[in-house]
Amino acid sequence: MMSELSWVFHGSTAPETAKDISRINKIHSGVWKRKPGTFSSVWEGKMTIVGISYFDTWARRVVGACCQTPHPNIQAAYPFWGEQLTSHFVTEPSHGSQSFGNNYPRTWDEVEEFFYWLQDFPYEEQTTPKQKQIGAETAEYFVQGFCDFWFPGFLQFIGRDIILTFIPPQCRRRQRMGEPNWLRSELIKLVIKLYYDVHDYLLSDPSEPDMTYFRGQLARIDLSTADYHIRKKRGLQDGLFKLSALALLIGIII
């Protein structure tokens, strides 16, 4: 997450971005030496960047926000940003060390078209049962990680509904993630819609973008030990919740 925020914050052509992606390329290199073919498809390399570019528009459409179309400047910026960013990534040498920026969507319409094409792509026809199982397990870890990071144990059902609400239905089905509770999902969409509409039409522009604040907060976290500390914190919260519930029950009985 910190890498993606840094790429947006610094820009796709910044030295900081190039240095960070060089580090990731080295990690990829270690992977493809053990698993040849892992980084051989250029179009797969575009998936994450297109998803980042289109997610805000997707979220607005999911919740039915009044404004669902990005400003023309944003529409022009994202294809350029994505093309420059993906050009730093390369396929493995056995596939020519090609730039992932090759044939990147050049316009906003192409970004949008590529996003929906990805959702409808018949992945199931090109994956083995083992790969499908690994995909489903990875998706579950992703959802649970989100819930652990943002919600105490007794509220994690809300976190699950939030993330499932905004994951495209094709992806939910493909990764066997299940469906969000329809009532809670509708309430979540209503809250997010109000957030968008109020910020778009009633409030003045913030002096500091939300992303800058969020990135600053994450930068204070030691990500190498974050999982341990979050689990410890959630364990204490769950213990306190159970103790409070027990005390309340005893109080009612007495």
Over its length of 254 residues, how does the chain's per-residue pLDDT go in tens digits? 567 778 888 888 889 888 988 888 888 888 777 777 766 777 777 888 999 999 999 999 999 999 999 999 999 999 999 999 998 888 777 776 778 888 899 999 999 999 999 888 888 887 888 888 988 999 999 899 889 888 888 888 999 999 999 999 999 999 999 999 999 999 999 999 999 999 999 988 777 777 777 777 777 766 666 666 677 777 776 767 667 766 777 777 76
- Give counts: helices (H), strands (E), the chain: 12, 0
Q: Select from 108, 96, 84, 88 the least CA-distant residue to 41.
A: 96
* Number of neighbouring beta carbons within 10 Å of residue 56: 15
The tokens of 17 are what? 């971005």
Give me the pLDDT at residue 60, please: 97
* Number of neighbouring beta carbons within 10 Å of residue 111: 22
- Model's pTM, two decimal places? 0.82
